[in-house]
Structure 1
């Protein structure tokens, strides 16, 4: 079961892509992700028949996107690393074809749809930055692809930075039932990156965090994994969390969500056994290491 839903870096490789999750992935229907590392001579076509969000992880990129024979080039300034604050992103309509070039590491979040929403470039300065939790449950969320920030057809996308020793995706929660106004059905992808804390001389390839899922009435799932840069967890159902940043190492993950419900909404139910933890945050301060806005505060 763990092998079906959790994949190490490179396990899902296809030509040109380090990892690919899409409709060809067994048991998967509503979301997708593609990860690539490009050099100056590389170029990749984005998949057709899906809406996409291009998310620079490290580096800068150009997207040449075409509609009705007219091509527009959008330059993404990007960032030094996922711990260097928000990046600008590009939402690409299902009605456009697109080709990606640049230097660095990039993620493409996707969802199949036939609804034509306009392509839009969201600059880093316009991305909502949210601090969630409190104390050792403090984390930083970049909400560039959530319903309040982006007019997409199905996609709900955000990224989360969890400083060393902190917990996120906590309390454990689920979104696998259609309960209007209370819970929505959403597949979810977690793409992870890890790095030694800023100023550390530790080896980057030793950085790690932990991630867990467990079953709900909607289905059986069991992931308890040490996660490193490039790993991917698929959450079709079930309770997920916590995601824990180990001492000495910061944790990042990109969340990609979409589902079959008519409303595009992120509505969750906490595990009743652990929901009380939220009340303990009252009166606690956010971690004073947050927000991470540049390489001086984040990891490299």
Structure 2
């Protein structure tokens, strides 16, 4: 049976449904050397591609889409390329790139779409030491089948994904969603955070440090994250599930949800937002 689990950097290459023990999400990060190419074969999966550093060219249906450009995830909001099912993708990088690739099975084929930093609001969420910055390149209203994608930046010492919440059951106020947390730290050598996942109804508890390049799979459980003092944290969330409606509805831990009532009094951490809307970036679409 699937349960929340942390995979350490260097010990995982691709999270598949078989590895995670679930149904929908696949996730990988590919690093392409200058001039290197990879091909993603056409199949029943829809894909979201997020450059973490560098610029990449995706060739799709005779179009060359050039996107990305940030030096790393702390230097700017991301680009996200959505590609529908039954579509081959060839990725090439002239100068080298690190790109996250999320996939999920899709019933309906949706159009190719590039989301740029210009399309993303600079959003501060939470309050006090639970303030973080959020961008949602593939939100519920996006024309996709199942994939949902969120980027989150948390200043050192702050809590994120708080109050703890879960998306385990499909009913009013909650949706059944698998979720991955892929972590990067500004200090990639020494930085760390803590990931907690817990389920009183299942008698489950996980609380572990996470480091640059680790990933957590969350098929269920309340979950929350805190960045260690002095260590800014980034994570890329991918979510997908069986619900017929696209939603990010989550159920908060009732014991901790009232803490957010104090946020208006605490105000927003002055460090947020701390990721710029306009990195040095590139995006274009060319057709043969």
- TM-score by length of structure 2 reads 0.90
C-alpha contact (below 8 Å) 2:20/2:217 kept by paired residues: no
Question: How far 1:2 moved relative to its partner?
Answer: 11
1:22 aligns with 2:37: no
Question: How far 1:27 moved relative to its partner?
Answer: 1.2
The count of aligned residue pairs is 275
SS of equivalent to 2:48: strand
C-alpha contact (below 8 Å) 2:4/2:216 kept by paired residues: no
Inter-partner Cα distance in structure 2 for 1:285 and 1:246: 21
Equivalent residue for 2:174? Answer: 183
1:43 aligns with 2:37: yes
Equivalent residue for 1:201? Answer: none
1:235 aligns with 2:218: yes
Summarize the Cα distance change of 1:3–1:11 in structure 2 as closer, same or farther, 3 Å threshold.
farther
C-alpha contact (below 8 Å) 1:85/1:292 kept by paired residues: no
Unpaired segments of 5 or more residues in structure 2?
Answer: 280-288
Post-superposition Cα deviations, 1:115-174, rounded to whole Å, max 9, x if no partner, equal 1010101121112332110111100001111113x2111111101000111110111111
Question: How far 1:235 moved relative to its partner?
Answer: 0.3
Larger relative CO (CA 8 A, sep 6+): 1 or 2? 2
Question: Residues 70-85 of structure 1 correspond to what in structure 2 (within 5 A)?
Answer: 71-85=62-76
Question: Residues 164-183 of structure 1 correspond to what in structure 2 (within 5 A)?
Answer: 164-180=156-172, 182-183=173-174
Equivalent residue for 1:152? Answer: 144
Equivalent residue for 2:284? Answer: none
Summarize the Cα distance change of 1:220–1:105 in structure 2 as closer, same or farther, 3 Å threshold.
farther
Equivalent residue for 1:264? Answer: 246
Equivalent residue for 1:111? Answer: 104
RMSD: 2.1
Q: Say which of 184, 196, 204 aligns to 1:193.
A: 184
- TM-score by length of structure 1 reads 0.86
Q: Say which of 111, 117, 124 aligns to 1:131.
A: 124
1:207 aligns with 2:209: no
Inter-partner Cα distance in structure 2 for 1:110 and 1:269: 25
116-125 vs 280-289, which deviates more?
280-289
Unpaired segments of 5 or more residues in structure 1?
Answer: 14-19, 197-203
Equivalent residue for 1:199? Answer: none
Equivalent residue for 2:272? Answer: 290
Inter-partner Cα distance in structure 1 for 2:132 and 2:168: 24
Inter-partner Cα distance in structure 1 for 2:261 and 2:3: 35
Runs of 4+ residues deviating >3 angstroms: 1-4, 219-222
1:55 aligns with 2:50: yes
